[in-house]
Amino acid sequence: MSNQMILRHSGPSPFCRKVDIVAKHHRLVGPITAQDVDMNDENETLRLQNPLGKIPALILENGQNIYDSQVIVEYLEDIGNGAALMPSGAGRIETLTQYALANGMTEACLLVVYEKRMRPEDKYHQGFVDYQLGKIGRGLDRVLSDLPSLERLDIANITTAVMLEYMDLRVNEDLRDGTELGANRGTWRTSHAGLADWLAGFEKLCPYFGETRPY
């Protein structure tokens, strides 16, 4: 039995970045050792730790494995020292819904990326990508019309900010081809310019955002 928790993760993963920010906020970085995952390795122990083979997964001191990121966030919130990030009281359901939207948009972004990364080129299915891009586009509209509060750090504004920068990193919803962006940052910054202002405000609120940026 180790007295360290082990976080199976990868730097660019948006779900891992969300967990990293929550761990920093709750001053839990010390007791957590981050361990990179090789997704292409069939013998990767992650597949035993989390049968879904997804990151993040957290191995507790007693050997128990917990996943997915939403459960890990709840766990860190239970044992952490920082102010609560999960909502309570008035507005709780609204904040949880904003959190669910940002998580769902992140899942859709990943499906766009995986369609390119995991499928042979001749099997690339533009209709499927467009279906995911529809979710992302409508989601951006909704985030803009129902901006997560920046009064204090919470799980909705963290997850939304991480999702937007993941789009900068990997997805350009206007190119409609699922390509990785490189220098060409996400066109959401022009199509939904108000979100760029919101993100700048979030960065001022969250000291861990820059520290966890994977690029």
Ligand X SMILES: N[C@@H](CCC(=O)N[C@@H](CS)C(=O)NCC(=O)O)C(=O)O
Report the residue from 34, 53, 187, 213 that binds ligand X according to the rule CB under 6 A. Answer: 53
CA distance 148 to 197: 13
Closest CA to 72 of 86, 83, 62, 82: 86
Q: 14 vs 186, which CB is nearer to ligand X? A: 14
77 near ligand X, rule: CB under 6 A? no
15 near ligand X, rule: CB under 6 A? yes
69 near ligand X, rule: CB under 6 A? yes
CA distance 127 to 65: 36
179 near ligand X, rule: CB under 6 A? no
75 near ligand X, rule: CB under 6 A? no
54 near ligand X, rule: CB under 6 A? yes
Place of tokens 């904040």: 95
- The verdict on whether omega for the bond into residue 14 sits within 30 degrees of 0, i.e. cis, is no
Residue 211 burial class via C-beta count within 10 angstroms: exposed 0-12, middle 13-18, buried 19 and up: exposed
CA distance 170 to 110: 9
Query: Smallest gap, in angstroms, from Cβ of residue 187 to ligand X?
Result: 21
Query: Smallest gap, in angstroms, from Cβ of residue 51 to ligand X?
Result: 11
13 near ligand X, rule: CB under 6 A? yes
- Interface residue list for ligand X (CB under 6 A): 13-15, 39, 53-56, 68-70, 110
